[in-house]
Each structure stands twice: as C-alpha cells, then as structure tokens.
Amino acid sequence: MRRLAPLAALLVGDARADRVVPPSGFTAHLTQFTAAAMAFLTVFALALSLAAGRLADHWDEALARTATVRLSAPEGQMAAQTEAILEVLRTTPGVAAARAIPDEEQRALLEPWFGPDLPVETLPLPRLIEVTETEAGMDAEALRFRLAGEAPGAVLDDHGRWRRPLIEAAGRLRLLGWLSIGLIGAAMAAMIALSAHAALAANARVIAVLRLVGARDTFIARAFVRRFTRRALEGAAAGTALGMVAVALLPRADAAAGVLAGLGFRGADWLVPLLLPPVAAAVALVATRITAMRVLKGIT
Amino acid sequence: MIELEDVSHSYGGAELLSGISLRLQPGSFHFLTGPSGAGKTTLLKLCYAELRPTRGRVRLFGAELAGMDRDAVARTRRRIGVVHQDCQFLDHLPLAENVSLPLLVAGRDVAAEAGNLRELLAWVGLQAQTEALPPQLSGGERQRAALARAVIMDPDVILADEPTGNVDWEMSLRILQLLIELNRMGKAILVATHDLNLIRAAKAQVAARVLRIKGQQLQQAGAEL
C-alpha cells in the first residue's frame, strides 16, 4: 500500500502545486489530440487483432476434427466403392462418424459458383464423404493405405494442407494488429515526449524561479507529469469512445465472409478498449517523467 | 554558514573571479560593491549554489558544495533567502501564492501557514495586495514581495542582488530598514549594490562590512565608505 501512495498522490494531484506551471496553449491541445487520435486507431487495431484471433480459433476448431474422402470412380462402381469406403471408415480407429454427402448438399456447395440451375447429375463429379474424427484422432497414413486397397480412386484430404496456411494467415494478422498497437503506443509516447520537451523549454523561467526557491527536480517534473498524464487520459478517453462507436456502427455480416466482415468486438471484447485511456495515461506519465528529468538534469 | 575559500569562476575560459575568500557568519552584514560586470551577481550565485566554482571550495552550512547532489543543493537553498533585482516571480500567480512558493516546494502545508503569511505580508506592507498579480505591482512592491518570499522559510542567510536597483530613494530606505531588521534577528545579510548612499545609510545603523570586487579580486572597501 505504501508503494501505491506516490501513484495515488500523482493521480489525485495538488491543485496548488499544479498551478506553478502556467496553463499552456498548443502543447495541451497537441497532447489531447495525439492521445485521442492514437486511441481511436488503437481501437481499430484491437478490433482487427481480436477478430483475427476469433477467425483463427474458428477455423482451427471447425476443421481440426474433420476430413474428406473424395472418390472418383466409373459410373457403375460409384455406389459399391462408396459403400466399401464407408465400411473401411466404420472400422477405422479414431473415426467418430462418416457419411456420404448427398447430391443436394453437393449442389448447394457448388451453387455459389455455378448458380442454382446446375444439373449436377450430368457432371462427372466425385463423391464426397465427410469424416468426423474422435478427440484422439485417426492415423491418416494408415487410412490412406487401406483406402488404396479398397477403393483406388479415393483420396483422403485431412484439410491440413489448406487449414495450416489459413490459420497461419489469421495468426499473422493478429500479430500485425498487436504490432500496430505497440507502434501506436510508441508513437504516442514520442509525441508526448516532444510536447513535454516544448513545454519545459517554454517554461524555462518558471523552472528557474522554482529552483531559486529550493524546488527539487521531482517537484518540478511532477507538475508537468500530472498535467500531461491528465491530458493524455482525457484525449484517450474521447478517442476510445469515438473508436468504439465507429466499430459498433460497422456493417454486420456473416462470419464466413471473412475477417473484415467480422471486424468488431463481441461480448467481453467490448471491455478491452476500456483499458486504453489508463494505458495511454501510463504511457504519458512515463514519457513525460523521463523527458522532464532528463531536461531538468541538463539545466544547472 | 556560507564559506568561500580561494574560489575562482570562469565563463567560457575567461576568469571573472579569482581567488575569492568570503565567510558569512550568523548576524553579519556585508555589502558587495563594484562596477557593472565585475562579478557581484556571479559571487552571489556561488553563495547559493546556482553556480559551482571552477576552482576553490564552497561550503554551505558545513557541507562541501562539491559533494552535494541536486537534491541536497535544493534543500540547502531553502536555508538561503535570495532577492533578485528583477524579483523573479511567476507572473500568473497572485502575490500571496508567489510569496508562499518556498513553503509549497518544501512540502509544507501552505494553508496551515496562512497566518504567518498574512503577518509577513503586513510586515512588508503588502497586506492589501495579496491577490494582485506581479505585473500589477510597482517596483517597490515587487522588491518587498521578493524580500517576503526570501524570508518565509526563516532562512539563516539573505542574499540580495541590487534590491534597490529599480526603486526611488524613499523605497530604498524602506527596503534597507527591512534588511536591518532581519539582521538584528540574527540573520546573515549580503547585499550586492552599486548604491553608495545606501551603504552609508546602512553603516549609520549597523556594523556593516563593505567589500569591493576589483580586478577579479575581493577587497575591503576604502575608508570613504
């Protein structure tokens, strides 16, 4: 508790001590605007990261325990080989369920590309068999070997080939989002440090007077730190609120439409952006304190 | 309390003060004279550690300045009251807040010392101007306010740099009287001035020692003073 006392004192402040630095014009607005703009951008980067994470999890969960057997066989042998494959699958350890996808479903899968009038029955389409694995999973290599013996035209696709790059892409998108948040934070720290530097330079006379009457560097720095921290907090709160409203107003779409359509917050995700104002204030506090102590050390 | 021993100070390689020795004891009263640019202000700044000597030793209240860090220097300055010719106020704060600034930076409860502040402002004759901003005050009022700020922490030493430089003779005598009162309370006073009439007026009332900076050296002033 004793360690938290200085932080509490800093946040609560001292009206008299704060007044020693005159209210300044452009640095105040610059800090607030920077914090607001950065918080606004961070809300979107957060939304992107969280959406990418959700998408990666969705793909991973949906596809991890499924596989497809694709059977190409002469017209007369299709039904017999399908039955043989289903029999193999029924006796394969790790397979929870298997079913041949009926023509109507296959038509539905192709409809988005060819339209509703596609005469599927006239096309030499392979038969698709959907396989659902148990939690333990199956031995894909052993199954391929058995399928080759029972139905030479059958190909087992365990989705790994295209699932991995998709999940990898979503993971990288999420990483990109977090990287953007880090860069935005660093840029905000740099902007606030520059503003603090300008404010310290503009108040050289105030600093000289405070030094003359026995002020320690920490007292002088605190007056600036409190001011910049409060401005960053106010700016970031405004930027976050605007960002959250903007995200809420994004058009809704089916999750299957991809990450952009799914951009936004869901459920408890809405609480995450609320952390931005205090985090921005903490960034401002550290940036201003480091700048102030460095500048004051350079003044005799 | 403040001791300079064989102190020299240079600006950019050019020596302004050389081999200066000075000791301010409790209850002492010194005047420092010399032409403009002789180094009076520099000597005062060495006394309150705004400058560090390029050679020699400065001891403040028994501690070597060379061994003091920035915080120690700040704490030591609270024991030294400084009055500048240009007063050095925060122009955006009312007079009362400017005068109580040393209390604030020292972490003292300013509200609890409101009574002392009122008494002090009455002593320098500024009880009616507590809410005035420094630019609204006359030269004499500003000097008296600077003196009030210099003594609010009850320092052991008062250093005044041309405290009557911007005021008429009547006000000069009033400020001198305040300094003499402080000296009679046991405080060491060092006043840098080129006003010889002020020195003569003071010598009529207190045993003041007059020093002169000449040719980078500190000398005892002549019998004419």
Tell whether A54 and A175 lie within a shared domain.
Answer: yes
| Cβ pair B47, B159 in contact under 8 A | yes
Q: Is the residue at A273 inside a domain?
A: yes
Say yes or no for a CB contact (<8 Å) between A211 and B74: yes
Say yes or no for a CB contact (<8 Å) between A210 and B110: no
3-state secondary structure of B140: helix
Enumerate residues 6+ apart whose C-beta is below 8 A from A162.
none
Tell whether A181 and A55 lie within a shared domain.
Answer: yes
Distances (CA, A) of B63 to A298, B5, B42, B82: 24, 13, 20, 19
Confidence of residue B225 (pLDDT cuts 50, 70, 90): low
Q: Name the residue among B52, B84, B105 with its Cβ closest to that of A219.
A: B105
Of all residues in chain A, the one with the smallest CA distance to B87 is A209
Confidence of residue B156 (pLDDT cuts 50, 70, 90): very high
Tell whether A134 and A228 lie within a shared domain.
Answer: no
Which pLDDT score, from 0 to 100, does residue A282 have? 93
| Cβ pair B21, B197 in contact under 8 A | no
Q: Tell me the chain A residues in contact with residue B153 when contact means C-beta distances shorter than 8 Å.
A: 214
Q: Which of residues 144-173 of B touch A (CB under 8 A)?
A: 149, 153
3-state secondary structure of B161: strand
Tell whether A196 and A257 lie within a shared domain.
Answer: yes
Tell whether A140 and A188 lie within a shared domain.
Answer: no
Per the listing, tokens 């003359």 go with A212
Q: Name the residue among B88, B110, B149 with its Cβ closest to that of A208.
A: B88
Domains of chain B by start residue, with CATH = 2-220 (3.40.50.300)
pLDDT at residue B30 greater than cutoff 90: yes
Which pLDDT score, from 0 to 100, does residue A10 have? 61
Q: Is the residue at A46 inside a domain?
A: yes
Distance, C-alpha A261 to centroid of its chain = 14
Tell whether A216 and A279 lie within a shared domain.
Answer: yes
Give me the mean pLDDT over the B137-156 stretch.
91
Distances (CA, A) of B125 to A128, A142, A300, B197, B208: 102, 103, 34, 24, 25
Which pLDDT score, from 0 to 100, does residue A11 have? 60
Which pLDDT score, from 0 to 100, does residue A13 have? 65
Q: Which of A103, A127, A152 is the last residue of a domain?
A: A152
* Neighbour count for residue A12 (Cβ, 10 Å): 9
Say yes or no for a CB contact (<8 Å) between B92 and A22: yes
Q: Is the residue at A224 inside a domain?
A: yes
Q: Is the residue at A235 inside a domain?
A: yes
Tell whether A170 and A287 lie within a shared domain.
Answer: yes
Tell whether A188 and A107 lie within a shared domain.
Answer: no
- Nearest-angstrom CA–CA distance, B100 and B116: 10
Say yes or no for a CB contact (<8 Å) between B78 and A214: yes
Tell whether A139 and A196 lie within a shared domain.
Answer: no
Tell whether A122 and A231 lie within a shared domain.
Answer: no
Q: Is the residue at A65 inside a domain?
A: no
Question: Which residues span the domain enclosing A38?
Answer: 5-60+164-298
**pLDDT tens, position by position, B106-140:** 989 888 889 889 989 998 889 999 999 999 999 88
Q: Which of A96, A117, A152 is the last residue of a domain?
A: A152
Chain A and chain B share a number of CB contacts under 8 A equal to: 62
Tell me the pTM. Answer: 0.75
Say yes or no for a CB contact (<8 Å) between A216 and B101: no
Which pLDDT score, from 0 to 100, does residue B214 have? 87
Averaged in consecutive runs of 10 residues, what is the pLDDT profile of chain A (300 residues)? 58 72 77 93 92 80 80 85 91 91 83 75 83 85 88 84 79 89 93 90 90 91 91 95 93 57 82 94 94 87
Q: Is the residue at A157 inside a domain?
A: no
- Nearest-angstrom CA–CA distance, A212 and A62: 70
| Cβ pair B190, B32 in contact under 8 A | yes
| Cβ pair B84, B42 in contact under 8 A | no
Q: Which two tokens stand for residue A205?
A: 């006379």
Q: Is the residue at A13 inside a domain?
A: yes
Q: Which of A96, A127, A152 is the last residue of a domain?
A: A152
Which pLDDT score, from 0 to 100, does residue B90 have? 93
Q: Is the residue at A66 inside a domain?
A: no
pLDDT-above-70 percentage for chain B: 98
**Partner A contacted by B114 (CB < 8 A):** no
Best of A213, A293, A297, A299 to disrupt the B interface (most B CBs within 10 Å) is A213
Give me the mean pLDDT over the B13-30 stretch.
91
- Nearest-angstrom CA–CA distance, A84 and A87: 5
Q: Name the residue among B90, B97, B105 with its Cβ closest to that of A214.
A: B105
Say yes or no for a CB contact (<8 Å) between A206 and B51: no
Q: Tell me the chain B residues in contact with residue A211 when contact means C-beta distances shorter than 8 Å.
A: 50, 74, 77
Of all residues in chain B, the one with the smallest CA distance to A300 is B50
Tell whether A50 and A100 lie within a shared domain.
Answer: no
Which pLDDT score, from 0 to 100, does residue A123 have? 76
Of all residues in chain A, the one with the smallest CA distance to B82 is A212
Q: Is the dihedral of CA A50, A54, A57, A60 positive or negative?
A: negative
When divided into structural domains, chain A yields a total of 2
**Partner A contacted by B134 (CB < 8 A):** no
Say yes or no for a CB contact (<8 Å) between A219 and B92: no
Tell whether A214 and A262 lie within a shared domain.
Answer: yes
